[in-house]
Amino acid sequence: MKTGFKFGIAAIALTACIAGSTLWANADSEDEAIKEAFIGSQNMFQQIGHFESDNGKTDQLSDEQIQGYIDRFNTGVDSYYSLDNPSRENYKELNERVLRECAKDVVDCKVDGGVLSCTAENIKLNEDRTSATMHVVFVEWGNWVEENEEGQIEVTAPTGQISADVTMVKEDGQWKLRSMEQADLFFGSDAISDLQEAEQNADAKGRAVAYSTEQQEQMQAFNEYQQKTYTEYDNFSEALKAAESIDPNEINPFPLWNEMGGSSLEE
């Protein structure tokens, strides 16, 4: 299930066709436009190293095909990152290095990734409305098929909840990310462990955790997800099938984790 990549490609195409005030004329508000631009920037970040091949490497791709992936990624980064944001060029260099070097001889394939949820608070625009600051809390995920040191193929599909202070600027009529200062980061694997431990502790005390039927189904989905990411696969196609079967919304622990107390579960 591809989330971030579909969003990123569609948003880039839309921006190219109707850039400027027309794009945001139909938005609920300038605040919403700023938030969506931020989400676009993080979706682009999650596209670093994305390509498609039969063996999970780039050695089967022509230079023209590799350059096509690089050009599309660079266009997206330019659409969402400001000229004075160092990440703009850093991400381009990293993406090209992955495609031309890292993924040439070993399996290193980014299958999917993107933002699953995002809330933005305290959005403040400057007087001429060309710069804005806000606080965001968002959940993102990535999905890789990778080759480990023993030559076995693994699926890696982490989630994370990040809070950050963000500055956005308007360039050529488009909101872009200038800077992001991360405040907190919670790993999805830790959140799942917290939820599983809470369930086990409740069972040991002879009482049930107050999980609804839907939440119990999600706990089971966590177990199945962990099995897929703990398994070593014999070949790329088998691992890719497992990676593509992962639904990011089913493995996102943070709605339930936050509801059950968040970081207080660790105490």
pLDDT (tens digit per residue) in 138-196: 999 999 999 998 889 999 999 999 999 999 999 989 999 999 998 899 999 999 999 98
Confidence band, pLDDT 50/70/90 cuts, at residue 202: low
Q: Is residue 173 part of a domain?
A: yes
Domain count, the chain: 1
* In the block, residue with structure tokens 């193929």: 153
Domain that holds residue 179: 4-187
- pLDDT, mean of residues 3-20: 41
Model confidence at 267: pLDDT above 80: no
pLDDT tens-digit map of 224-249: 999 999 999 989 999 999 999 999 99
* N- to C-terminal Cα separation, the chain: 35
Q: For residue 32, which of 123, 161, 133, 130 has the smallest C-alpha distance?
A: 123
Measured CA to CA, the distance from residue 66 to residue 101 in angstroms comes to 11
Q: Is residue 50 part of a domain?
A: yes
Q: Is residue 239 part of a domain?
A: no
Residue 90 φ/ψ, nearest 5 degrees = -60, -45
Q: Is residue 196 part of a domain?
A: no
Domain at 65, CATH number: 3.10.450
The predicted model scores a pTM of: 0.85
Q: How many helices (H) and strands (E) does the chain have?
A: 11, 6
Q: Is residue 201 part of a domain?
A: no
Q: Is residue 138 part of a domain?
A: yes
Q: Is residue 9 part of a domain?
A: yes
Confidence band, pLDDT 50/70/90 cuts, at residue 27: very low
Q: Is residue 248 part of a domain?
A: no
Residues comprising the chain, all counted: 267
pLDDT at 260: 83
